[in-house]
Amino acid sequence: MRWAIPILVAAALLAAGCGSEGTATPRPETIEGTIQTETTVAKGDPAAGKQVFADQGCGSCHAFEPAGSTGNVGPNLSEALQGKDAEFIQQSIVDPNAVIAEGYQPNIMPQTYGSDLSAKEIADLVAFLQSK
């Protein structure tokens, strides 16, 4: 019976999380060395996104059928975005080096769209790029 009290105390301390270790927090999953976090993409207006595409000169580097553009510096977006979700498209705009299309080099696309465009402009552009 003497051993019951120390065991109960140890069990209570363990259950209470006593100690300096703290609580374990799950880490984000990683895929191919990139941290994947859950992102919510606001609904945008494809018509306004078409204007953002034109205003930012995206068509001078990218072919995209809905824009009538034929640029060939970067990937053909009508093909490269096939089957991609809004989160992938948004990431490709704000962090273009996160995933590099096969056959292309990093740092060709400007890295500043995440700060140069407003959240609404990004949402509109994503909506337009999904309109293929």
Output the tens digit of pLDDT for each of the chain's 132 residues.
454 444 434 444 334 443 333 333 333 443 444 444 445 667 999 999 999 999 999 999 999 999 999 999 999 999 999 999 999 999 999 999 999 999 999 999 999 999 999 999 999 999 999 987
Q: CA 127, 131, 132 angle in degrees (round to 5)?
A: 140
Pair 127, 44: CB distance under 8 Å: yes
Give the three-class secondary structure for 72: strand
Q: CA 115, 54, 105 angle in degrees (round to 5)?
A: 60
Selection from 45, 57, 39 nearest residue 98 by Cα: 39
pLDDT value at residue 41: 66
Selection from 60, 95, 55 nearest residue 77 by Cα: 60
Rounded to whole angstroms, how far apart are CA atoms 61 and 70? 8
Q: CATH number of the domain at 38-129, out of 3.30.565.10, 1.10.760.10, 1.20.1070.10, 1.25.40.340?
A: 1.10.760.10
Rounded to whole angstroms, how far apart are CA atoms 121 and 54? 12
Pair 70, 63: CB distance under 8 Å: yes
